[in-house]
Structure 1
């Protein structure tokens, strides 16, 4: 059974059909790519998968659980986490606190416990600090735990955003143009990071990306969107050599 199963997914904004009959199946442990020209509907698909938009029609199932109609926080708890094309860190919070924010859906205590700093509060804070530092160490950011997130170089901010997403303990990680704004060396390092996350966190990854070197370098299968509809699907090499994809997407 596929980890993510999407069938006949569509959404309309007024009279505009932004995405129509989108379908995809992603197996557990896959590195899967969603590509297409600007305005093809890729981020709209991500927004439906994460509850930002409610689909007009269609089915979204994660590990057999129906997600359509659920709120973003419910979908996150079900096992989907995402990053954004424009990095959305808490820039004036520390690197450590950014990751701890991702952990909060796994730790619950009452307002009174927090206000009075009761033993349960201190126990949970200690556990969260330890887990957050473990994640930061994986991304070689533990030495900068006390830095403001805004003071990290761009590539490390991307890593921090991925670390925060992983802190929510997802089954499926959605990466929205993770290489945006990166230089070639940072992109190569990002590719290694994504592979590491898949292999060491038992993670399934779905990414939107325009950098074809990254896409061809790490994605095992692709779906191509064009004008809100699936243009092609399959193994990465086959899809990138499809004449219709070349015509519509690569402009050659």
Structure 2
């Protein structure tokens, strides 16, 4: 069974078909890329998958479960987490607390328990601290746990955003232009990090990216969007050589 299966997904804004008859199938454990020119509809697809938008047509299945039209919270609980092109960390909170924010789906106590500092509060906080530190160690961020997130270098902020998303214990991780704003050395380190995340967490990953070195270096399969429609799909090396992709996307 595929981790993500999307069929006939469509949405209109007024008379504009932002996404039209979109289809995609991602197997468990796959590292998959969604690419296309600016304005092709990539972020709209992410917003449909995560419940920000509700489709006019189509079906979205996550690990066999129909999540079409569900709320952002319900889709996150079902197992989809995402990062954003523009980093959205809690910059005035510590690195540790940013990751703990992602853990609250699975580690809970009541407001009253928190106010009164009952035994369960300390038990749950201890569990969250330990789990958050485990995740931070994966990204070599454990030494910065008590720093404010906004004081981290840009590349480490990107890593922290991925770490926070993973704290929700997703089945599918969506990365929205993770290499945006990075220098070549940071991009190479990010590629290594994404591969490690896939292998260490047994994660299925779908990413939007314009950096073709990153796409060609880590993605096993690609879907190319153009004007909201699927232009080409398949094995990365073949898709990137497809004449229609080269013309529409690479501008050659």
The normalised TM-score by structure 1 is 0.99
Deviation at 1:111, TM superposition (A): 1.2
CA distance in 1, matches of 2:109, 2:51: 26
Q: In the alignment, what sits opposite 2:102?
A: 102
User: 2:192 matched to 1:195?
Assistant: no
The normalised TM-score by structure 2 is 0.99
Q: In the alignment, what sits opposite 1:182?
A: 182
**1:122-161 paired onto structure 2 within 5 Å:** 122-161=122-161
Q: In the alignment, what sits opposite 2:47?
A: 47
CA distance in 2, matches of 1:2, 1:147: 39
**1:12-91 paired onto structure 2 within 5 Å:** 12-91=12-91
User: 2:37 matched to 1:7?
Assistant: no
Deviation at 1:69, TM superposition (A): 1.6
CA distance in 2, matches of 1:109, 1:149: 25
Q: In the alignment, what sits opposite 2:235?
A: 235
3-state SS, counterpart of residue 9 of structure 2: strand
Deviations 1:213-239 (A, max 9, x none): 000000000000000000000000110
3-state SS, counterpart of residue 105 of structure 2: helix
CA distance in 1, matches of 2:8, 2:55: 10
CA distance in 2, matches of 1:71, 1:27: 24
Q: Which runs of 4+ in 1 moved over 2 A?
A: none
Deviations 1:150-175 (A, max 9, x none): 00000000000000000000000000
Count of aligned positions? 252
3-state SS, counterpart of residue 104 of structure 2: helix
Point out where structure 1 has 5 or more consecutive residues left out of the alignment: none
**1:203-214 paired onto structure 2 within 5 Å:** 203-214=203-214
CA distance in 1, matches of 2:148, 2:217: 32
Deviation at 1:48, TM superposition (A): 0.3
Deviation at 1:204, TM superposition (A): 0.4
User: 2:163 matched to 1:163?
Assistant: yes
CA distance in 2, matches of 1:183, 1:109: 42
3-state SS, counterpart of residue 136 of structure 1: helix
3-state SS, counterpart of residue 92 of structure 1: coil
CA distance in 2, matches of 1:91, 1:184: 25
